[in-house]
Structure 1
Amino acid sequence: MPFKWQYYTLKAISRAVCLLPYPAVLLLGEILGRLYYHTAGRQRRRAIKQIREGLGLSQEEAAAVIKRSFIKLGQTFCEVFYTPALNPDKIKRYVTIENRHYLEQALAQGKGVVFLTAHLGNWEWFGAALALNGFPVADIVKNQPNDQHTRILNEYRQMFGIEIFASGTGEIVRAARALKKGKLLGFFADQDAGKDGVFVEFLGKMASTPLGPAVFARKFKCPVVPGFIVREADGRHRITIQPPIYFADTGDPQADLYDLTVRMTKIIEDAVKAHPDEWLWARKRWNTDYQGSEESR
């Protein structure tokens, strides 16, 4: 581990942040977010370009939304460092869960739950909040380019009992076993899926989209429960759970998988449109070039 020092540096920063009162964490995050907006020119320009194309905003409107988005991202960044300070009492103070009965009823079926979400709000605290509220959480995540960043993030996820499985690896077999045991298996389905994805319209453009959530829902006949976390005006968070959707078997597996993927993508799109300053517009969501129709799927 040639960059092991980075892990210990991040841990030291985290210990310092955990000593701060929560309002100070939010203030520090706001300062960092504003600084990031003014210094990260490439990411800012990409975000503004993509939100203008996706939501039809003017340059001024787009810049205002992206600035708020960067500020919230800075707050999320600082909250991640604050994660070790969380406990059941604090999480209930900082995060509320709406419509948890949808998730409880889905889990009660005993088939596990494909939990559909996206990179909105503080998604790291999303899993922590569900786990600290007694839900059996497992996540399929994409490793960071830097192994030391992955190491600290997974350590913080696992301290709440969250099982972590890396996408694109043999750990997917273990993820399937977790779902079979009746766990909630989280999928972030708003990332570019590369050549392995299927093209689905997302915010007006065709985007390579992962089939994984639909494949798991079909194989295990389990409900898909959408849920998202957003930041309230006071800086705290609200999780909203939506009613479950199901794989519809018409006898054409390929078309049925695509249909469910389209339905899930629409749910994510609606969440992004409802809370545009919560999503990571700087991500390369449309990175894979669309070459033609989906007729050959």
Structure 2
Amino acid sequence: MKKLRYFFETLLIESAAWIMPRLPRWLILALSRGIGSIAYLADKRGRTTALENLRCAFGDRYTLKERQHIARGSYQVFARTFFDLFWSSKLTAETWQKHFDIRLHDEQAEQQAREKGGVWVTPHFGNFEFLSLTWGYRGLPYTVVAQNFKNPGLTPIFNRLRSHSGQTVIAQESAILKLMKLLKRGGFVGMLVDLNIEPGRTSAAIQCFGLWTSVPTLHVQLTQRLGLAIIPSICLPLPDGRYEVSTLADIHPKPGDDIQGLTQRAWDHFETVIREHPECWMWMYKHWRYRPVGVPGVPHPDYPLYSNYSQALKDMIPEALSPK
């Protein structure tokens, strides 16, 4: 039964990969808005998570109706990201520029990264898939880490779509060693840095919208060890169907710098942008699975209802900032 389901899933995705590039741009955008709205209404669990996240992140800044509008917009932006990944095979080295506005915070920082290597980081904001696509066309082909699908037929399809402009996609197994070797050779790496992971040696406790959370530190550890730059980047969807791709202020970790402080600093760049465009972040994701305060098993009023008490997260917080 599973093999039959996998067969039809693969057939559906392969068909979408063939059809999408042949559709007009206005239809891709219309489908994104429509399917995103339907997903918002149909996905009760994700919708509840999104509204709860917005409540905790912004407090009384937005009314319930406004939070619902932002959450629906988040579904629409994610749908557009998904559809555009399939549509992107239509782009070529000659045509891609008319769909993107490039804004570099510091051209010298990028030039140094071209010469020495570097790590570009982004959250699940806007079209996070298109950052590697754009930089690939600009002569900076990323290597990105992606989790393999349970359906083995889907992995090569998505890897093909994600490597359209010269990128390389590697599996999570032994990824750290592969990335280290690549960066030592002056390569380019792209990473998502807003994943909520279990508190431990590979994570740091940072404040995200005033709430503590546990996120990966691999981007900091790699650049700190190799003397490279972290370049925060975003891909903002524009109403006319194009994208604005920007780099933010780069970060240069030094050997003695505090990993938690550097991780927080990188996140702070993104939070500023998310506050300006809240509909572009993936609010349906559980960003605060762990909380450092309250009684175990009892949700703290400032944290989402799905959060669970974590002594490990509390122990990771700098003593001067630890919640009482």
TM-score, normalised via structure 2 length: 0.83
Shift of 1:288: 3.2
> Residue 204 of structure 2 contacts residue 259 of structure 2 at CA under 8 Å; is this kept in 1?
no
161 and 63 in structure 1: CA distance in 2 versus 1, 3 angstrom threshold:
same
Q: Which moved more, 1:149-158 or 1:174-183?
A: 149-158
Report the Cα distance in structure 1 between the residues aligned to 2:232 and 2:85, rounded to whole angstroms. Answer: 23
Report the Cα distance in structure 1 between the residues aligned to 2:58 and 2:155, rounded to whole angstroms. Answer: 32
Report the Cα distance in structure 2 between the residues aligned to 1:103 and 1:121, rounded to whole angstroms. Answer: 23
Q: Deviations over 1:215-271 (max 9, x none)?
A: 001111101111101111212110111231111343xx6xx1122111112122222
Shift of 1:14: 1.8
Identity of counterpart residues, as a percentage?
22
Report the Cα distance in structure 2 between the residues aligned to 1:228 and 1:145, rounded to whole angstroms. Answer: 29
1:174 is aligned to 178
**What is the identity, as a one-letter code, of the residue corresponding to 1:14?**
A
1:230 is the counterpart of 2:233: no
> Residue 232 of structure 1 contacts residue 238 of structure 1 at CA under 8 Å; is this kept in 2?
yes
1:130 is aligned to 135
Q: Deviations over 1:103-131 (max 9, x none)?
A: 532324x3311112111111112211110
**What is the identity, as a one-letter code, of the residue corresponding to 1:275?**
H
> Residue 106 of structure 1 contacts residue 244 of structure 1 at CA under 8 Å; is this kept in 2?
no
Q: Which structure would you say has the larger Rg?
A: 2
- Partner SS, residue 174 of structure 1: helix
RMSD: 2.2
> Residue 227 of structure 2 contacts residue 253 of structure 2 at CA under 8 Å; is this kept in 1?
yes
**What is the identity, as a one-letter code, of the residue corresponding to 1:129?**
T
Report the Cα distance in structure 2 between the residues aligned to 1:180 and 1:156, rounded to whole angstroms. Answer: 27
Report the Cα distance in structure 2 between the residues aligned to 1:272 and 1:150, rounded to whole angstroms. Answer: 30
Report the Cα distance in structure 1 between the residues aligned to 2:129 and 2:92, rounded to whole angstroms. Answer: 14
- Partner SS, residue 241 of structure 2: coil
Aligned partner of 1:42 among 21, 45, 50: 45
Show structure 2 runs of 5+ residues with no match.
293-310
Report the Cα distance in structure 1 between the residues aligned to 2:196 and 2:185, rounded to whole angstroms. Answer: 29
1:154 is aligned to 159
1:210 is the counterpart of 2:210: no
1:220 is aligned to 226
Shift of 1:146: 4.6
TM-score, normalised via structure 1 length: 0.90
Shift of 1:148: 4.0
1:13 is aligned to 16
1:79 is the counterpart of 2:84: yes
1:199 is the counterpart of 2:169: no
> Residue 103 of structure 1 contacts residue 241 of structure 1 at CA under 8 Å; is this kept in 2?
no
Show structure 1 runs of 5+ residues with no match.
none
2:282 is aligned to 280
Shift of 1:198: 2.0
Q: Which moved more, 1:132-141 or 1:59-68?
A: 132-141
